[in-house]
Structure 1
Amino acid sequence: MDKRVDPYQDAILDVTTAISYLQTKIGKTGLSLKESSDFTLFEKTVKATEDKYLMEDFSPRFFDLHGATAFWIGAYDERGDIVSVQAAKVEDLLDRSLADHWDQQQRRLFVDPNPQAKFGTDHAHDAYFMRGRIVYHGNLWLRRDIRGQGLAEPLTQLGFLVSLLKWSPDYLYGLMAAASAEKGFGIRVGYRRFVPRGTHWRIAPGHIREDDWLVYATRNDIQGLAELVLRSSSADPG
């Protein structure tokens, strides 16, 4: 019998404590949080925002999304209006790499219904080596009037730590606009590894950015994020 101890098990209390601190920090701004696995409601919620942009990855029209494999978090102001959304889902990629997964999924989502789009084969280098339990984090949105107030970081960190607690993934990744990655947003929210290319498009669909970077973190990276949040909580006079 393998008696090796998973170090993650010893970190669960730290992760839950960090989540609690982030919830409290966000709550002090007057926002309330709701976690859900109802992606029909997520679609309705996103469609009510100013951007109205629902990523195909989190659309119930394309995927069967349920509590075991996906969640979303909404933040609401004191009137009950939505001010932020984010979503995450997990894939078990034990038999193929993330790049292989993109080849299959992105082609089905974007190329098959749109013959003008041309999908390439030279994806982000690291994606060819990423296997295992992999979380995709995306559809992050913050209402314009509360941007620049320091809320994007704790909200996104919350999503990362909830993903860690639920699934203990090997990797958590996103696709980030080059400008955001270069300005350091990714490192502030918890990504620790950056590749200046995402999925490779020869001709991208009209609503897909061609300059996305693959940004990701390992399980240990996200555990380190929890520790960083705890250190910040110790120094927080509030």
Structure 2
Amino acid sequence: MSVDIYSRDKKATFSDWKSVDSLSMGSGPLSTLLSDARDRLCADALAAGVRLVISEAWQGLEQVNRANLSSWLPIMHQPNGSASFWIGAVDARGDVVGTQAGVLLDCSTHSFGDKLSDLTFFYADPTEAAPGERCFCASNPAFETRGKVCYITAGWTHPRMRGMGLFHLIGRVVRILALAWWTPKWWVGMVAPETAPQWTEAKAGRRLLEARPTILYQHPSAGYDYPPLRLLRFCRAGVVLDMQALIRQS
């Protein structure tokens, strides 16, 4: 399937898209639950006027971000993970009107907080960092987050589609796919102050959201001052319970 999106200067076509509703949820003990939850979310997306697609091309996500900076913060440097994907909500015109991404991180020897602090979250070789690029982390849960981790990022909804529940619908799809393919122990993200009210448990499900910012990322050459960020974290048991609750509501 090919989907067209508009950038500020040209129209680009991405040919690696796959429909989320066609993806395998594996054959493990949770496969039926995850398939049912995925199908429910894809149906809800169609009812909202969008279809959900998946891509592994990070540059496509960066292009969508650049095309929508009037309503979206610049996304950070691509994380240094072993695998990644992003979900796009595509409307009837072929425009991407919502996104969220997942990146697989190995935090078995260095915690998520360690990786932020020494920039190995961003770079296999931290000497590749730009001049002045640094990250300060004072989050205890971040330093306690170890093992297989899915980093969630680039959550955005186009202004004309807000208020329809797409933001958290896409987020749940990212968590479902990561659980089916990677079986992480944790899902973590970094939340800007203006989006923190969107991450209530009633909206997002069982999660930890720190009460105050504990992470500061600085990248002077990016031309943008990133705000202080809060740590967001989901655990595997909580994600499973949320999917079970979703199915009971069907």
Q: What is the TM-score with the length of structure 2 in the denominator?
A: 0.75
Separation in structure 2 between the aligned mates of residue 107 and residue 159 of structure 1, nearest angstrom: 20
Of residues 20, 32, 35, the one that matches 1:13 is 32
Q: Does 1:38 align with 2:57?
A: yes
Question: Which has the larger strand fraction?
Answer: 2
Question: Does the CA-based 8 Å contact 2:215-2:230 persist in structure 1?
Answer: no
Q: Secondary structure at the match of 2:29?
A: helix
Separation in 2, partners of 1:57, 1:232 = 38
Question: Does 2:171 align with 1:178?
Answer: no
Sequence identity of aligned pairs in percent?
Answer: 21
User: What letter corresponds to residue 55 of structure 1 in structure 2?
Assistant: I
**Where does residue 113 of structure 1 map in the other structure?**
130
Q: How does 1:87-236 map to 2 (within 5 A)?
A: 87-105=101-119, 112-115=129-132, 119-120=135-136, 123-181=138-196, 183=197, 185-187=199-201, 188-197=203-212, 199-201=214-216, 206-210=224-228, 212-233=229-250
Following the alignment from structure 2 to structure 1, what is the Cα–Cα distance between the partners of residues 122 and 249?
Answer: 42
1:147 and 1:54 map into 2 onto residues whose CA distance is 19
Q: For 1:47 and 1:204, how far apart are their aligned partners in 2?
A: 17
Q: Distance in 1 between matches of 2:236 and 2:95?
A: 33
| Structure 1 unaligned regions, length at least 5 | 1-7, 234-238
In structure 1, what is the Cα distance between the partners aligned to 2:102 and 2:83? 8
More helix by share: 1
Query: Deviation string for 1:171-192 (max 9, x for gaps)?
Result: 00111123533x3534212351
Q: In structure 2, what is the Cα distance between the partners aligned to 1:50 and 1:203?
A: 19
Say whether the 8 Å CA contact 1:15–1:165 is kept in structure 2: yes
What is the alpha-carbon distance in structure 2 between the residues aligned to residue 132 and residue 26 of structure 1? 32
Change (3 A) 1:221 1:30: same
In structure 2, give the amino acid aligned to 1:209: P
Question: Residue 62 of structure 2: SS of its match in structure 1?
Answer: helix
Within 5 Å, give how 1:16-95 maps onto structure 2: 16-51=35-70, 53-58=73-78, 69-95=83-109
Q: Whose RCO is larger (CA < 8 A, sep 6+)?
A: 1
Unaligned 5+ runs, structure 2: 1-26
Aligned partners of 1:196 and 1:213 also within 8 Å = yes
Quick one: which amino acid aligns to residue 84 of structure 1? G
- How far apart are the structure 2 equivalents of 1:99 and 1:171? 13
CA distance in 2, matches of 1:203, 1:42: 21
SS at match of 1:56: coil
Distance 1:14 1:202, change over 3 A: closer
Q: How large is the RMSD of aligned CA atoms in angstroms?
A: 2.9
Change in 2 beyond 3 A, CA 1:180/1:111: farther
Q: State the shift of 1:155 in Å.
A: 1.9
Count, aligned residues: 216
Contact 1:171 1:217 in 2 (8 A): yes
